[in-house]
Amino acid sequence: MRRLLPTLFTLTLLVTLGYFLYPYLKNAARVAQLWRASPPTAGSLEHPLPGQRFSDTWGAARGNGRRHEGVDIFAPRGTPVHATTRGMVIRVGENTLGGHTVMVMGPAGYRHYYAHLDRPSGLSPGSWLKAGDVIGVVGSSGNARGTPPHLHYGVYRPSGEAVNPYSLLRRGEAPDGTGPPGLRPTRGDLGHMPRSPG
Ligand SMILES: [Zn+2]
């Protein structure tokens, strides 16, 4: 009996620990699986705003010597923004440049950044998404205030280096990447673009 009690105690402790740790272990395995998956390739990412045409605005000059680290896709305010890839939400919040934003960790640890959403997304860190899931709606929050509503979409390598999402996105549009004049941001429109978007 003197030996049995400590053994029972240890067993109970292990079972209790296992019970509470299981969700974390399960999530860790899922994260590991996500990291082992292949990185995005040309045309492999779903369009976040299906049907909206956009041009390659990667690298365009912005204020303070900054370069545009993403693409801007214009759409009416309130248009649902879809996840371009499966993954886990790792950050949700508001910042000066991006306004209401969502950061998703996708296959191979690439991070996908959605900015200028109209309002907080309602997602929370740790939630898992499928490609196409709605993560928020188009707006002009952050430094896009006063500009036509658009989504700023950025892709980052695990090292933090930004990559051009333009060719990674499946566009389903004219091969030249231009759209009808009404939707296409012209050079003049770009003059209204945020000086240093997030
Ligand atoms: Zn932008």
Tell me if 163 sits within 8 A of 155, measured CB to CB: yes
Looking at domain 63-190, does it have CATH number 2.70.70.10? yes
How far is residue 177's CA from residue 163's CA, in Å, rounded to a whole number? 18
How far is residue 17's CA from residue 23's CA, in Å, rounded to a whole number? 11
User: How many angstroms is it from 19 CA to the middle of ligand 1?
Assistant: 44
pTM value?
0.80
SS3 assignment, position 20:
helix
Domain spans of the chain, in order of start: 1-36, 63-190
Tell me the pLDDT tens digit for each residue of 58-101: 998 888 888 999 999 999 999 999 999 999 999 999 999 999 99
User: How many angstroms is it from 56 CA to the middle of ligand 1?
Assistant: 11
The DSSP output letter for 51 is T
User: How many angstroms is it from 175 CA to the middle of ligand 1?
Assistant: 22
- pLDDT(24) > 90: no
pLDDT of residue 1: 65
User: How many angstroms is it from 174 CA to the middle of ligand 1?
Assistant: 22
- pLDDT(186) > 70: no
Tell me if 51 sits within 8 A of 25, measured CB to CB: no
CA angle 154, 139, 107 (to 5 degrees): 30
How far is residue 197's CA from residue 34's CA, in Å, rounded to a whole number? 29
How far is residue 62's CA from residue 69's CA, in Å, rounded to a whole number? 10
